[in-house]
Amino acid sequence: MEMAINELKEALQKAERVTVLTGAGVSAESGIPTFRGADGLWKNYQATDLATPEAFARDPELVWEFYNWRRDLIGQKACNPAHTALARLEGLIPHFTLITQNVDGLHLLAGSRHILELHGNIWRVQCTQCHAVTMDRSPHMGNLPRCRSCGGLLRPGVVWFGESLDPDILNQAIAACRNCQVMMVIGTSSVVQPAASLAFTAKSGGARVAEINLERTPSSDRMDVVLLGKAGEMVPRLAAGWGNSRDQGAG
């Protein structure tokens, strides 16, 4: 493990272009439940009842109840050492892209700037009628929130199963993977597409790919480095003690 951390850290220190993909595991240590696994959200809720356009068409009140509950919870949570260390790495590496599947906005709060939110943002709401998009950080949007300009039903500004990702964001993510020298995949079960394939876009472009997770995932066998452990412990170790050159912003 020690060797793998040192090897990855050295690769990061040499690299000019690094891309990171994060998933729910990065926010787990902030107290935000992941989706899958023993304590995951889908243990108590059916994904198909809550995170699909069909579910919203069938019962928008139930879907809003789920998202209001999560807004309330996420609003009370703070970023953790994994978020902070990733923001620090962005300052140390010339071209650093952070792709996240998370909708909680904690990377921005931690100070990351170049972020691609593949699955949207829980604080964004979108009108189902006039399609206006607004940011609203109130913990509770009401049972069936309505658009201020046209009165249409609002929906959470997130990407549900069966929906396309924003093509602009996805294309930027693919480009960042194609062009990077090192890619880290952190805290994701790597089962949801197209996010799960991004590591292999990076690998086929010649990048070294590394995974940080509590456990192995379906992608682990094709990774160059697998670090098993908590993101909140591993990522700070990778970002610590870079010495003077890049630490002072001179690199």
Please report, as residue ranges, which positions from 109 to 128 form the binding site for ligand BJW (by CB under 6 A): 119
23 is an interface residue for ligand BJW by CB under 6 A: yes
Please report, as residue ranges, which positions from 149 to 178 form the binding site for ligand BJW (by CB under 6 A): 158-165
Alpha helices in the chain (DSSP H): 2-14, 25-28, 41-44, 47-50, 53-58, 60-75, 81-92, 106-110, 167-179, 198-204, 231-239, 244-247
- DSSP lists the bridge partners of residue 97 as 19
The DSSP output letter for 248 is: T
Q: Which part of the chain contacts Zn ion (CB under 5 A), choosing from 104-112, 132-140, 163-171, 230-238?
A: 132-140
Please name the residue that has the structure tokens 């978020």: 83
Alpha carbons 140 and 164: distance in angstroms, whole number: 26
Exactly one of 78, 144, 150, 240 binds Zn ion (CB under 5 A); that residue is 150
The smaller minimum CB distance to ligand BJW, of residues 51 and 177, is found at 51
* Catalytic hit among 83, 114, 119, 140: 119
Please report, as residue ranges, which positions from 176 to 205 form the binding site for ligand BJW (by CB under 6 A): 187-189, 191-194
20 is an interface residue for ligand BJW by CB under 6 A: no
Are 6 and 224 in contact by the 8 Å Cβ rule? The answer is: no
**Binding string to ligand BJW for residues 84 to 113, with x set by CB under 6 A, is what?**
-----------------x-x----------
Q: Per the structure block, which two tokens stand in for 174?
A: 């693919």
Size of site (CB under 6 A) for ligand BJW: 36
Q: In the annotation, is 119 catalytic?
A: yes
| Size of the chain, expressed as the number of residues it contains | 251
Give which of 64, 175, 166, 61 is closest to 118, Cα–Cα.
Answer: 166
The smaller minimum CB distance to ligand BJW, of residues 88 and 181, is found at 88
Alpha carbons 56 and 160: distance in angstroms, whole number: 10
Residue in the shown chain whose Cβ atom is closest to ligand BJW: 25
Are 172 and 189 in contact by the 8 Å Cβ rule? The answer is: no
Exactly one of 5, 7, 9, 37 binds ligand BJW (CB under 6 A); that residue is 37
The smaller minimum CB distance to ligand BJW, of residues 99 and 181, is found at 99
- DSSP lists the bridge partners of residue 158 as 120
Catalytic residues: 119
Residues that bind ligand BJW (CB under 6 A): 23-25, 28-29, 34-37, 40, 51, 101, 103, 119, 158-165, 187-189, 191-194, 213-215, 217, 230-232
